[in-house]
């Protein structure tokens, strides 16, 4: 990436950067990236698991009902119903890289 400080990066910026790096026309890059994201969504919608070496795994898992709390009004419990979620598990390589990131927002 060319930016030294890019807080939020979007598809358009990544496409421009890939086109420049790989010397491929931005239109083709856009087609490939869009198709990639669409097919990923499509696979997940069939309940498939997607595995990208050195990146991570995407899968759909069922999250059981749980009781949450509104942080502004902790006395009132909120029932979060059972639902499907997309679970992303980073690869070992990604985890090692991510571990070096200093002071991201705490959750």
Using CB under 8 A, list all residues that contact its own copies: 1, 5-11, 14, 17-18, 21-22, 24, 28-29, 31-33, 35-37, 39-56, 58-64, 83-88, 90, 94, 97-107
Of 78 and 97, the one with the shorter C-beta distance to its own copies is 97
C-beta atoms surrounding 29 within 10 Å: 19
99 contact partners, CB below 8 Å, separation of at least 6: none
Listing DSSP states for 20-32 in one string gives: HHHT--HHHHHHH
To its own copies, the closest distance from the beta carbon of 15 in angstroms equals 9
Q: Please identify which residue in the block is written with the tokens 């009902």.
A: 65
Which CB sits closer to its own copies, 24 or 78? Answer: 24
């Amino acid at each position: 990436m060319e930016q030294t400080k890019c807080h939020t990066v979007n598809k358009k910026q990544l496409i421009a950067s890939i086109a420049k790096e790989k010397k491929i026309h931005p239109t083709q890059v856009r087609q490939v990236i869009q198709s990639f994201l669409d097919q990923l969504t499509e696979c997940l919608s069939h309940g498939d698991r997607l595995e990208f070496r050195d990146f991570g795994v995407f899968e759909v898992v069922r999250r059981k009902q749980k009781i949450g709390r509104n942080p502004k009004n902790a006395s009132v419990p909120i029932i979060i119903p059972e639902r499907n979620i997309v679970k992303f598990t980073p690869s070992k390589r990604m985890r090692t890289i991510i571990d070096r990131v200093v002071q991201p927002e705490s959750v």
